[in-house]
Amino acid sequence: MSIGNAAEEDRPSVGQALQQARNEARLTVDEVSTSTRVRVPIVQAIEADDFSRCGGDVYARGHVRTLARAVGLDPEELVAQYDGDHGGRPQPTPPAALFEAERIRPERRRPNWTAAMVAAIVAVVGFVGFTLVGGGGEQQPSKAKETPSSEPTDTATPSRPPETSVPEDQKPSDSPEASDSAIAAAPADKVTVQMTAEQDVWISARDHNGRLMHEGVLKKSKSKVFTDDKRLSLVLGNAGGVKLYVNGKEVKDVGEDGQVQRVSYTRGDPEAG
């Protein structure tokens, strides 16, 4: 057996290396999870060399790189070791295919407000038509004319889809000028995130209730601003291609080109600007 092969056999696995480094740094799993925003069960699984919970090689490589930085290991060396153990570096995946699972994730069914509103309008129009055609008498048409002025308004009001009632300060903006002004005017009791794409970037944004605020490709040189009372959760399909400003402060080292990052921010972020 050659010396090189013996050294490789003695080398700890990726999960063992992460666990040993974390213990030497006197960090708990919870502390690593908080600093990296990688969920506790996934940290524990990776330390046990179980990468099935990561959702694929692209996610697994991103988690390994993030955890390595947190515990003081060389991220590139550990990712290279992971690639060697799992058949080499994965081929780049188009953003649309990469996030197919994200789009089809089952969510609680919501009432079909649009269908309800259409049904109410159809009922009102039917009533008006019946009155005009079969009601007879001179007084019926005048009553029918009064109905559209009051009935559709009262009926349609509760049927308005929730998306149309989003407060102005939570609506995303594509304009860089609008983005800058939104950050400048953001209240201190909200969390505000501005992102500006330096390359085409697939993004997803959810509010503190988990409601999807935006999903799609942010084109190069375009910007968006999101605000929420408590927390904003983001998925970045090309973390190295976007600049983030959280509560008016630029966030450095969001990620690398092609790296998938899941981050979330609150009113107190970033802790270091």
**What does the alpha-carbon distance between residue 38 and residue 70 come to, in Å, rounded to a whole number?**
11
- Residue 257 has a pLDDT of 81
- Residue 273 has a pLDDT of 37
Could you tell me the residue ranges of all domains in the chain?
14-86, 191-266
CATH of domain 14-86: 1.10.260.40
- Residue 88 has a pLDDT of 75
- Residue 77 has a pLDDT of 95
CATH of domain 191-266: 2.60.40
Q: Kindly report the pTM of this predicted structure.
A: 0.36
Calculated CA dihedral for residues 14, 17, 22, 24, nearest 10 degrees: 180
**What does the alpha-carbon distance between residue 111 and residue 17 come to, in Å, rounded to a whole number?**
49
- Residue 153 has a pLDDT of 45
- Residue 186 has a pLDDT of 58
Locate 135 and state its tokens. Answer: 């009601």
- Residue 132 has a pLDDT of 62
Which pLDDT tens digits describe the chain residue by residue (273 residues)? 454 555 566 789 999 999 999 999 999 999 999 999 999 999 999 999 999 999 889 999 999 999 999 999 999 999 999 999 988 776 555 555 444 544 444 445 555 667 777 777 877 677 766 656 555 444 444 444 444 444 444 444 444 444 444 455 555 555 555 455 545 555 678 988 898 998 898 899 999 998 999 999 999 999 999 999 988 898 887 888 888 898 888 888 788 887 888 888 898 787 643
